[in-house]
Every structure is written in structure tokens, then in C-alpha cells.
Structure 1
Amino acid sequence: LGPPMAASDSAGRTADVQAYERARSPEQTRRDWRAQADALCRHLGGLDPATPASMDGMETPVRDHVLARGLETWVHTDDAASTAGVRLPRPVAEHIRPTADLCARLLPWTMLLSGLDGSGRTLRLTLTGAGGGEWQVPLGVADPAPGAPDAHVTADVVAFCFLLGGRGDPADFPAELAGDLELARDVLATAPALSGP
């Protein structure tokens, strides 16, 4: 389904799809998107959520890829709604919670991809609102378990997920910081590192 993909990276695939869709009607795009979504659901329904899957060279359980795709869809739906002047309701807590969990688990990777090594450091992340919670996040990608928290970040769960989705400016992100403030600011500054266009 969809256009032939020459690119192997996210930005290149996005450019391929945009070029392809510009020549099509909105109804064609919607119909093909629905068919692709249905095909994905049929395929994924038979897989163990822990099945390894690779995208852009990063291998994680298929469950995490589905959550990442859900976050991307959520972010881009909000982009379209904002452009159209439509206010969307917040997603339900049952959808926010697993997405927030993925975002928390990605923080060591966003730091590493940004050139910062959080090894041996731990963040206590408190996300408020429906679907939120608290995580003790080891900030090194190879850290076996969290230690005592070095820094603490408290923020709205939806805003935090959107920050990891590339929406929002880390410099003025509304959050309460405690403990090692430089580390807390580094976590927020690097959070969008995995976000795409």
C-alpha cells in the first residue's frame, strides 16, 4: 500500500509520501490510509507484543513501534486540527498511559542521540493528569536499573508526550524541576531528539 519507497530513512520516506499524495484527492488518501491501517491491525493482531521489530535501525518490541506510530498519529492529528482551528479532546487515559511509559523509556536514548551520556544517573519523572504516573528512569541506555533519583521533573502527561513528539520548546517547557537542575534541563532539552518531521 502507498507509494514506492526509495528512501530508507524517516525524512526521506516522508518526502516520498508527500510527493505521492500531492497528486491524489483527499478521498484517495483517506481510503488508502484506512486500508493500510486495517492491514496493520490484521497483521499485528496475531503477533506477540514482544516480537522484535526494526525501524530506522532501532530494534525494539513491536509494541513500542505501535505506540510510537500512535504518538506520531496523535501529534499530526493535533497539527491538522490546529491548522483548521479545531480543538481536539484529550486522548483517554488508557491510551495516554502506555504512550507516556514509552516516552519515559526513550529518555536515555534521546540523551545519547543528543551527545549526552546519562549513565549512572536516574530521573524521577512525575506526569500529571489522566494517564500520568511516576517513573524512575535510569538515564544510561545500558543501566540495568534505576538508582536513587538525581533529578526530578514534574509535567503534564500530554504536554510531555508532545515534547517527545517534537512539539513544544524544551527551553520554555512548563515543568517543575528539582534535584540536579542541569540534568533535569538536559533531559528536557534532548527529549525531542527522536522526533521526525
Structure 2
Amino acid sequence: MTEHDDVRDLLAAWAFGALEPAEERVVPLHLARCEDCAAEAERLRETVRMLDGPLLDEPPSPLDTLFAGALRARPAPPRVARHAGPYAAAVAGLRALLPELAGRWSTPVVHDWDVHATVAHLLAADEHLALRLGIDARVPGARIDEDADWTDTWERRSAEVIAHEYGSRPEETVADWSAQAAELLGTAHARDPELAAGTTLLMGLRLPVAEHFLARAFEAWIHTDDIGRALGLTVPPPPEEHLGQLIGLAVRVLDTVLGTEAPPVLFAVRGGEEWVLGSRSDPVAAELTLDPVDFCLLVGGRYAPDAVPRDTTGDAAAVRNVLERAASLSWL
């Protein structure tokens, strides 16, 4: 390969600040004399200007939260459409955690994964959407099998990618994940709501591409939170607008899973919207209110149905059905 080819392969990592020291010397020199690569590098750099949530009125101490400085010195909003904003911010959130990971890659996180494996899993998790959008996989063996059971396929591919990445340094896994994320955020589907309104089948769900971007955001945030907890670091929830988008997706999927035969429950997130889940033809059997972050953690499999804090009235069995179905949605 030529120097030009080598540098183009590094541009996404450059945009994310994930280059090795030797690469940090090579890339700027090449960009200074290659207009094509310089233009592509600038496009990618714009893509990763991601933290577009509102500033906190009183930014917390750096001892309390990982992102205080990033929130106070917030960069310009990304050039992505609203549906891709939560994924852009979730990627930025995990990137903000990276300086804390040096020497701690083997810390147990979730399931039987350590920090390295958790990042490798995210590489695998984003891969399917990347393939659908025409992005080449970064780990050999990627495929889309429409006839296979999606849960088996999901678990098998995640295990394959983790095993592959254990043969690489953690920093190389991070660079691959970062580069794939940048490519996803650089697609036309991330910038064009009309294009992203088209549906595709992923994880057993036929949803608009826009909603698959929200699913990627959900998973990236959940696993960033997993890593933060494992390392004793506070990871803030998504900005309020993004959290509302993730909740909306989770409610739509939950309502589909419950179907029209389930006893109707009036479900609300504290301080937010409310929905009737289940049958629309019967009187509401119960009311259920959850904290918005707790609801996301329940859907993400981080709360057991009987352990999530909640306010309820009415039919306890109807409430339990909603909570159990919500927890069953987890693929994370």
C-alpha cells in the first residue's frame, strides 16, 4: 500500500484522536500536502463534534463526573440529523472515558467481559448496521443471514469479534470501534432523515434506519455506564432530549411486544410523557410510573423487573407483565 492508502485508513482514528504516537507524526504531514485526504479528514472531524446536549447550570466536579470539562467546553453540534444525535453523543461519551482505561483493560465489567471485551462487543454490535449501510466490516467473517435466528447470530458474532480482538492490543480495538462509529456517522443515512426513514431488518426488528441509530445509541450508553461502574466512575445519562428519544423507541418496541391482548396499563416516565400499553379497547387496569433512566436501565437488562423503583396503582399482575416484558427486550 502507498502512504496515501495508509493515511486514508487512519483518518477516522485521527478524527477521534485515537492515533498511535508514530501515526500522529505521519498523518498531519500527509494532510498538509494532500487536498483529498485533508478534505476527508475535515469531514470526519466535523462528524465527531458530538456533545450537543445543553450545558449544565452547575457543572459537577471532575471528581463526581467524567464529563464535567467536556460539558463546559462543549464543541459545535455535529452535522448529523436529529435521529443520529444520540449515537454521536454516546460515542463521544465512551471516548471521554478512554483516558481512564489505561492499565485497566482486564477489569471485569458485565457478563463475562472485561473492559477490552466490552469495547470489542460494541464493535460487533454496530457492525450489522454498518453492513446494511455499505460499510465494510473491520473483523473477518461478518455476514448477514436473513434466515438465521437473530439472537444466535448476535451472540455468535459478538463472541467471534471478542475472540479476534483479544489477539489485538486494546488500543487497536478502540481504534477499530472509533473508525467504524465515524463511518456510521459519516453516512448519508446519519444526515438525511428522509433516507433514514427507510426500514431495514436488524436484531429481529424491522424498523426505520433512524430508529436503528437510536438502538446503537442506547447500547453505546449502556455499556459506557457498565464500564464506568466497573471502574468506580460516574457516567452521566444522555442529555434530556436524547433520553426522550431513547425512551420513545423503547416504548414503541415494548408496546409491539405486549400486543393488543395484554391488560392495558397507563405507563409514564416521571416528568415526561405517558402512554397506554396493551389493549386499547379495555379500561386501564393499572398505572405504572418509572424514572426515565431507570426505565432505560430496565429495558437494557440492568434492573430485574421486581427490583426497579416504581410507583404503581391497580392490577399488580398487569404491572408485572409490563415490567417483565420490558426486561425481556434486553439484548445488551
Give TM-score, length-normalised by structure 1.
0.84
Matched residues, number: 185
More strand by share: 1
String of CA shifts for 1:8-54, please: whole Å, max 9, x gaps.
Answer: 52111211121111111122111111111111112222452321011
1:108 to partner: Cα distance: 2.8
Is 2:210 the partner of 1:63? yes
Q: 1:50 to 1:149 in 2, by over 3 A?
A: farther
- What is the match of residue 84 of structure 1? 231
1:149 to partner: Cα distance: 2.9
- What is the match of residue 127 of structure 1? 269
SS in 2 for 1:10: helix
Distance 2:183 2:293 in 1: 28
Distance 2:225 2:179 in 1: 22
Q: How does 1:91-170 map to 2 (within 5 A)?
A: 91-111=238-258, 118-119=260-261, 121-128=263-270, 133-139=272-278, 148-170=283-305
Candidates 182, 195, 214, aligned match of 1:38: 182
What letter is aligned with 1:22?
Answer: Y
String of CA shifts for 1:39-90, please: whole Å, max 9, x gaps.
Answer: 1112222452321011133211112111111111111111111111111122
1:120 to partner: Cα distance: 6.1
Distance 1:31 1:146 in 2: 52
What letter is aligned with 2:221?
Answer: W
What letter is aligned with 1:104?
Answer: V
- What is the match of residue 179 of structure 1? 314
Q: 1:57 to 1:155 in 2, by over 3 A?
A: closer
What letter is aligned with 1:37?
Answer: A
Q: 1:122 to 1:192 in 2, by over 3 A?
A: same
Unaligned runs of 5+ in 2: 1-136, 146-152
- What is the match of residue 114 of structure 1? none
1:95 to partner: Cα distance: 0.9
Task: Judge conservation of contact 1:6–1:16 (CA < 8 Å) in 2.
Answer: no
Distance 1:84 1:95 in 2: 25
Unaligned runs of 5+ in 1: 112-116
Task: Judge conservation of contact 2:264–2:282 (CA < 8 Å) in 1.
Answer: yes
1:153 to partner: Cα distance: 0.8
String of CA shifts for 1:84-134, please: whole Å, max 9, x gaps.
Answer: 1111122210110010111111223444xxxxx552643222112xxx512
1:5 to partner: Cα distance: 2.4
Identity %: 32
- What is the match of residue 13 of structure 1? 157
Q: 1:63 to 1:29 in 2, by over 3 A?
A: same
Which structure: larger Rg?
2
What letter is aligned with 1:28?
Answer: E
Give TM-score, length-normalised by structure 2.
0.51
**C-alpha root-mean-square deviation of aligned residues, in Å?**
2.2
Distance 1:110 1:84 in 2: 35
